A and B are shown apart, each in its own frame.
Chain A
Amino acid sequence: QKEVEQDPGPLSVPEGAIVSLNCTYSNSAFQYFMWYRQYSRKGPELLMYTYSSGNKEDGRFTAQVDKSSKYISLFIRDSQPSDSATYLCAMNRGSTLGRLYFGRGTQLTVWP
Chain B
Amino acid sequence: KAGVTQTPRYLIKTRGQQVTLSCSPISGHRSVSWYQQTPGQGLQFLFEYFSETQRNKGNFPGRFSGRQFSNSRSEMNVSTLELGDSALYLCASSLMGQMNTGELFFGEGSRLTVL
Q: Does B28 contact A (CB under 8 A)?
A: no
CB distance from B85 to the nearest CB of A (A): 19
What is the interface size of chain B, counting residues whose CB is below 8 A from a CB of the partner?
29
Q: B48 on the interface (CB 8 Å rule)?
A: yes
Interface mask (B81-112 → A, CB under 8 Å = 1, otherwise 0): 00000000010100011011111111111000
User: 8 Å CB contacts to B: which residues of A51-97?
Assistant: 51, 88, 90-92, 94-97
CB distance from B91 to the nearest CB of A (A): 8
Q: Is the CB of B90 within 8 A of A44?
A: yes
**Nearest CB of A to B102, in Å:** 4
Residues in B with CB closer than 8 Å to A44 are 43, 90, 104, 106
| Cα distance A29–B45 in the bound complex, in angstroms | 18
Nearest 4 CB-CB pairs, A to B?
Answer: A43-B106, A104-B42, A34-B102, A102-B43
* B residues apposed to A, CB below 8 Å: 4, 31, 33, 35, 41-45, 48, 50, 55-56, 58, 90, 92, 96-97, 99-109
For this complex, 20 residue pairs linking A to B, each with C-beta atoms less than 8 Å apart, are: A41-B108, A43-B106, A44-B104, A44-B106, A46-B103, A49-B101, A49-B102, A88-B42, A90-B43, A92-B99, A96-B96, A97-B48, A97-B56, A99-B56, A100-B33, A101-B45, A102-B43, A104-B41, A104-B42, A105-B43
